C-alpha cells in the first residue's frame, strides 16, 4: 500500500494544551506520525509524498474567511506583540447561541474564538504548513485512487475530523477526510462513503456533508452524552434536506467491549453497501485501543488486523486518513495492522 508522508507535519508541535483544567504536554505530537512511518518502512510499505495542491478542494470544504484566518493567524498573532513568538494563543470567548458570528471581529483573540469550537487546537508558527500538507496528502490520495490504486494511507497530522467548514477544534484544523471525499467526487466518483472509527465523533465531517446525498457519513464512537465532542454524534442526527438518511451515528457507551464495537462496525459497513459507494474514506482514529490515555474502548493490536480485514470485505477502493490515537508506543503497530489486515484480505 502506498503511504503518503510529508516532513512538514513536524512544523506543528505545540508545547502544551489545557486538559481538564491543567497545562499538560500535548497528546497530539510529531512523534505520532514518525512512529507510524517507522513501522510502515519496517513492514515494507511504499512511501510517497503529497503531489497535489489541495487549495481548490479546500475552498469547497472550508469557508474562504476561515481559510484566510488560519493561513495568516500566526502573522496576526505576532503583529500584536513580537514577544508572542514565544507564546501559544488560546481563545477565551466564543460566539455561542444569541451572539453573532456573521461579523468578523477586529480583535485577534475574538477572531480565534470565532473560528474555534474549543481550546483544544493550539496554534503555533508551523500549524498552517503542517495542516496544509495533510490536506495535500488527502487530495493526492484521491488522485491515486482515481488513477487506479486500490488503497492509499495518509500518514499525516494534525488530524482533521473535528474541523468544520469554518472552525477548528480537538487538535484539528483542516478536514482531511472531507478533502479526500470531495476530491473523489470532483474526480468522477458518484457516491463516496466516509467511515469514522475514531473514539471521538467526527463532528466536523458530519457537519460538512450533513445536507448532501452524494457523501454518506457513518461513525462509531463514544456516546457524546459523556464523551468529547459532546454536542454532536447522537443517533437522531440522520441528515437534513437532500442529505436526510445519509448520516449514520452509532454511539457506544464508554468502556464498550470489542464484540459490541465490531457489531457497530458491521452495521456501518452494511449501510455503506446499501449506499452503493464507489469509494470509501476511512477516518482512521486508533484511539479505540485499550491503552489509549484519553479513550475507553477495548481493542487490542490483533483487533486492528481484524478491522482491516472487515474493511476489505466491502470491496471498495479506500483512502485511510490518520486521525486520533495517543498511545504513542503502540500507535505504529496498530495503524499498520489495519493496513496489513486490509491487504491480506484483498490478496
Prediction pTM value: 0.98
| Residue 18 pLDDT | 87
Q: How far apart are CA 239 and CA 51, in angstroms?
A: 34
Which own/partner pairs from 302-307 qualify as long-range (CB within 8 Å, at least 24 positions apart)?
A: 302/337, 303/258, 303/262, 304/333, 304/334, 304/335, 304/337, 304/338, 304/341, 305/337, 305/338, 305/340, 305/341, 305/344, 306/262, 306/341, 307/197, 307/265, 307/337, 307/338, 307/341
| Residue tagged active-site, from 62, 161, 162, 200 | 162
User: 162 an active-site residue?
Assistant: yes
**Which contiguous run of DSSP H or E holds residue 264?**
helix 258-275
- Every domain of the chain and the residues it spans: 2-82+125-346
C-beta of residue 182 within 8 angstroms of C-beta of residue 167: no
The confidence band for 83, taking pLDDT boundaries of 50, 70 and 90, is very high
Quick one: pLDDT at residue 295?
95
Q: What percent of the chain has pLDDT over 70?
A: 100
Cell representation of residue 185: 467526487
| pLDDT tens column, 296-332 | 999 999 999 999 999 999 999 999 999 999 998 999 9
CB–CB of 3/45 below 8 Å? yes
Helix, coil or strand: residue 82 = helix
Q: What is the mean pLDDT of residues 217-235?
A: 98
Fold for the domain defined by 2-82+125-346: 3.40.800
pLDDT for 228-286, tens place per residue? 999 999 999 999 999 999 999 999 999 999 999 999 999 999 999 999 999 999 999 99
Amino acid at each position: 500500500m502506498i503511504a503518503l508522508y510529508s516532513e512538514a507535519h513536524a512544523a506543528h508541535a505545540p508545547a502544551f494544551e489545557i486538559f481538564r483544567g491543567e497545562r499538560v504536554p500535548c497528546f497530539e505530537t510529531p512523534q505520532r506520525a514518525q512512529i507510524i512511518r517507522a513501522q510502515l518502512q519496517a513492514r515494507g510499505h511504499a512511501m510517497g509524498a503529497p503531489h497535489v495542491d489541495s487549495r481548490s478542494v479546500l475552498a469547497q470544504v472550508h469557508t474562504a474567511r476561515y481559510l484566510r484566518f488560519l493561513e495568516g493567524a500566526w502573522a496576526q498573532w505576532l503583529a500584536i506583540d513580537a514577544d508572542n513568538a514565544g507564546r501559544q494563543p488560546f481563545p477565551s470567548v466564543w460566539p455561542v447561541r444569541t451572539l453573532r458570528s456573521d461579523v468578523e471581529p477586529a480583535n485577534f483573540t475574538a477572531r480565534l474564538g470565532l473560528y474555534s469550537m474549543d481550546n483544544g487546537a493550539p496554534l503555533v508558527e508551523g500549524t498552517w504548513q503542517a495542516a496544509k500538507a495533510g490536506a495535500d496528502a488527502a487530495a493526492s490520495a484521491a488522485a491515486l485512487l482515481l488513477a487506479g490504486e486500490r488503497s492509499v494511507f495518509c500518514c499525516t497530522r494534525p488530524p482533521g475530523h473535528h474541523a468544520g467548514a469554518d472552525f477548528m477544534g480537538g487538535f484539528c484544523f483542516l478536514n482531511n477526510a472531507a478533502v479526500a471525499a470531495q476530491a473523489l467526487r470532483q474526480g468522477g466518483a458518484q457516491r463516496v462513503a466516509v467511515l469514522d472509527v475514531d473514539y471521538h465523533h467526527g463532528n466536523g465531517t458530519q457537519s460538512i456533508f450533513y445536507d448532501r446525498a452524494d457523501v454518506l457519513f457513518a461513525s462509531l464512537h463514544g456516546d457524546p452524552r459523556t464523551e468529547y465532542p459532546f454536542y454532536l454524534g447522537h443517533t437522531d442526527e440522520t441528515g437534513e434536506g437532500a442529505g436526510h438518511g445519509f448520516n449514520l451515528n452509532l454511539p457506544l457507551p464508554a468502556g464498550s467491549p470489542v464484540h459490541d464495537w465490531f457489531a457497530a462496525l458491521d452495521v456501518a459497513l452494511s449501510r455503506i453497501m446499501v449506499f452503493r459507494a464507489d469509494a470509501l474514506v476511512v477516518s482512521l482514529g486508533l484511539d479505540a485501543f485499550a491503552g489509549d490515555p484519553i479513550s475507553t474502548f477495548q481493542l487490542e493490536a490483533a483487533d486492528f488486523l481484524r478491522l482491516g480485514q472487515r474493511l476489505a470485505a466491502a470491496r471498495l477502493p479506500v483512502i485511510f486518513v490518520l486521525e486520533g490515537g495517543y498511545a504513542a508506543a503502540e500507535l505504529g503497530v496498530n495503524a499498520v495492522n489495519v493496513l496489513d489486515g486490509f491487504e491480506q484480505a484483498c490478496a
